[in-house]
Amino acid sequence: MGEFVKVAAASEIPPGEMTIVDVDGQEVAIANLNGEFVAFQNECTHRGGPLGEGILMGDVVECPFHAGQFNVRTGEVVNAPPSEPIATYAVQVEGDDIKVEKP
Ligand code: FES
């Protein structure tokens, strides 16, 4: 397992919300799925839309550019136009610290 780095405070991301953090120069989106935190590549695989600024619906994120959709747990494409999955990253929560495995 890789190295985990602290990226955010759990108390700053309410359920159903997302935030974008920088992990070693790479943008990673963190989403709060009703108390469970997941981390995934911020950049949409279609044309690079910022997924963390999109819409979170359950465990699906909709890209703000062309409404492509991904499952944020698995990274799989749920709805075109993207055809390639996004990367997902392991998350650890310790107290109020959210830690993400380095990409
Ligand atoms: S850039 Fe995300 S759907 Fe086109």
Residue 103: the pLDDT is: 81
Q: Which 3 state secondary structure label does DSSP give 41?
A: strand
Average pLDDT over residues 64-81: 98
pLDDT at 77: 98
Which token pair is 99? 């830690």
Amino acid, res. 79: N
For ligand 1, pick from 40, 41, 46 the residue to mutate: most ligand atoms within 8 Å of CB. 46
At 1, the pLDDT band (50, 70, 90 cuts) reads: low
What structural domains does the chain harbor?
4-101 (2.102.10.10)
Pocket test for ligand 1, best of 40, 42, 43, 63 (most atoms within 8 A of CB): 63
Q: Residue range 80-100: average pLDDT? A: 97
C-beta of 65 in contact with ligand 1 (< 6 A)? yes
CA–CA gap between residue 48 and residue 43 (Å, rounded): 5
